[in-house]
Amino acid sequence: MAPPSSPSGNASAGTPAAAAASAFIARWCVADGTELANYQLFVHELSTLLGVQPPQPSREDTRDNAYVFERRVTLARGDGSSGEGRIDCYKRGAFVLEAKKLRAGAATRGFDDALLRARAQAESYARALPADEGRPPFLLVVDVGHVIELYAEFTRSGATYTPFPDPRSHRIRLADLERPEVRDTLRAV
């Protein structure tokens, strides 16, 4: 893949960055396999599109897993017991990413409800991270091949994550990746 046309990755139509974004969208908009079959490849290729380092190989010692798929966490249950959870993609000090492959249509209440449940799951994972690691400022909720939702909580206390940058523009549709400013936002996250 050709490098972006400018240091920030901004590019207009017809540039290598715009062509790469169009190819990514065309490839992923038809993906209809399961979450497990596709999310790691989707995140890896999105990282490539954005020009950022992809997640790294996991290590047995979770303290070494600063940017990985399937980061283990211990989840506390209401009855005092605990269980193991796995963050789909985690970058220490940056984000928790929860991926789904939803079957409900994007313009349905079921779709919105499923994304809200995924956000709640991501919040529980962020709160389950070791306190000395801190809570990441961002949550990303991904419906592979359709949308990426951004949520932020900048106190890093694990309080409620709110739509970022606001409730009207926190949902990034796959086609929105053609816009350089959208890619810049995701690159910054």
Res 77: pLDDT = 85
User: How big, in percent rounded to 5, are the helix, strand and coil portions of the chain?
Assistant: 35, 25, 40
Return all residues near 163 (Cβ < 8 A) that are at least 6 apart. 149, 150, 151, 170
Res 159: pLDDT = 84
Query: Is the distance from CB of 101 to CB of 39 less than 8 angstroms?
Result: yes
pLDDT-derived band at 11 (thresholds 50, 70, 90) equals very low
pLDDT-derived band at 6 (thresholds 50, 70, 90) equals very low
CA distance 31 to 29: 6
Res 78: pLDDT = 84
CB count in 10 Å sphere of residue 19: 14
Domain boundaries, the chain: 16-188
pLDDT digits (tens, 9 = 90+) for 140-176: 999 998 999 999 999 988 789 999 999 999 999 999 9
pLDDT digits (tens, 9 = 90+) for 93-149: 999 999 998 887 777 788 899 999 999 999 999 999 998 888 999 999 999 989 999
pLDDT digits (tens, 9 = 90+) for 32-69: 877 888 999 999 999 999 999 999 998 887 677 899 99
Instruction: Report the sign of the C-alpha dihedral through residues 163, 164, 168, 171, in that order.
Output: negative
CA distance 168 to 147: 14
Res 1: pLDDT = 37
